[in-house]
Amino acid sequence: MYRVTLSFEDLPIRDDLRGMTPYGAPQAPLPVALNVNENTHPVPDEVAGDILDAIALALRDVNRYPDREFTPLREAFAGYLGAGLQREQIWAANGSNEVLQHLLQAFAGPGRRALGFAPTYSMYPLLTRATGAQWQAGTREDDYSLSPESAAAQVADAAPDVVFLCAPNNPTGTPLPLEVVRAVYEASRGIVIVDEAYQEFAPRDIPSAVTLLPGRERLVVSRTMSKAFAFAGARVGYLAADPAVIDALRLVRLPYHLSALTQAAATAALGHASTMLSMVDEIVGQRDRISATLEALGYRPHESWTNFVLFGGVDDPAETWRRLYDRGVLIRDVGIPHHLRVTAGTEAESTAFLEALASIDSEA
């Protein structure tokens, strides 16, 4: 067996990467995995067949590099988002993490600064620092909401090159009104990224920040197929922005970064958007059931417009996490004192979580 003798810190690694820890949500093979906000429903059979056919067709040309501009996929995303968007306004990559990385490579980097409002998605600081830029954590209210006044004042004060607005916010589930986006845009001189990874789980009548794009050339709206679309394993994220932003991203992407197989699979899946999204209502129902049951058990669930629930009132999160793990249920300790986060799964998975938690409480 290969013996590990060195730490990466012993290597001549970049000074600004020393002391950092990689993203590492546990990938344990437990029967009930509710820790990374996936859609736990499989891709519907009728769609899976079409996706396989599309991949089979693409495989015939896999000796050639793929379409560098992933044109049909960008057209499909423009059609899905609506709001009059054209394919020139769309970009995509291997998960929205890579989309965000492209944005930071183009608009952050050494000597620059990105700001987000903590607690927020844990990859923002990591991606920012990996481009050599500095991360600055802004603050929220005690209930994790963000007012237009406070957000704009913090942005005006810090004058960052990139602002992250996670809407709704991970790991708290908190909605982010469009007034906050407007106010932050006015207060900033840099790129404003609205990360709508969970937008499909918000109430239907809530408009997306894509409606704010006209006339705002520094605004970017990021999305993913990993959550509502049940496509996390395919790694497909995308964004909508001014075509000039897309031109900037072409400078930093690797040539042919989206494989022909990924493009084929995602385009086929988007052709069945309504079937792919048919589980969203069911997941939202389970989310609300989880919140109501947690409250009845004496916990404090936070309002959520996502497919997960952050709940407070946990005496010892590490211990509760471990006891759930021992019962075959994997959830997430996001490092907020007295809180844990759980993804809304199928009815059976959500029931397994709630019953396991109730059984721990009855032992205490």
Ligand X SMILES: Cc1ncc(COP(=O)(O)O)c(C=O)c1O
The residue ranges that bind ligand X (CB under 6 A) are: 37, 95-97, 121, 166, 170, 195, 197, 224, 226, 232, 237
Tell me how far CA of residue 158 lies from CA of 100, 118, 132, 358, in angstroms: 20, 15, 18, 45
| Region of residue 344 (phi > 0: left; psi between -120 and 50: alpha; otherwise: beta) | beta
Q: How far is residue 169's CA from residue 145's CA, in Å, rounded to a whole number? A: 9
- Looking at beta carbons only, is 225 or 354 nearer to ligand X? 225
Listed in sequence order, the residues at least 6 apart from 88 whose beta carbon sits closer than 8 Å to its beta carbon are 243, 246
- Looking at beta carbons only, is 146 or 293 nearer to ligand X? 146
- Looking at beta carbons only, is 66 or 116 nearer to ligand X? 116
- Which residue, chain included where needed, has tokens 């998975």? 349
Closest contact distance (angstroms) between CB of 78 and ligand X is 18
Q: Which two tokens stand for residue 47?
A: 């769609």
Closest contact distance (angstroms) between CB of 129 and ligand X is 17
**C-beta separation of 199 from 208 below 8 A:** yes
Closest contact distance (angstroms) between CB of 298 and ligand X is 28
Closest contact distance (angstroms) between CB of 306 and ligand X is 8
- Looking at beta carbons only, is 153 or 277 nearer to ligand X? 277
Closest contact distance (angstroms) between CB of 219 and ligand X is 17
**C-beta separation of 115 from 165 below 8 A:** no
Give the DSSP H/E element, type plus range, for residue 56: helix 45-59
- Which residue, chain included where needed, has tokens 């407070």? 312
Tell me the three state secondary structure of residue 300.
strand
Closest contact distance (angstroms) between CB of 257 and ligand X is 14
- Looking at beta carbons only, is 95 or 301 nearer to ligand X? 95
Q: Which two tokens stand for residue 151?
A: 């957000």
- Looking at beta carbons only, is 308 or 321 nearer to ligand X? 308
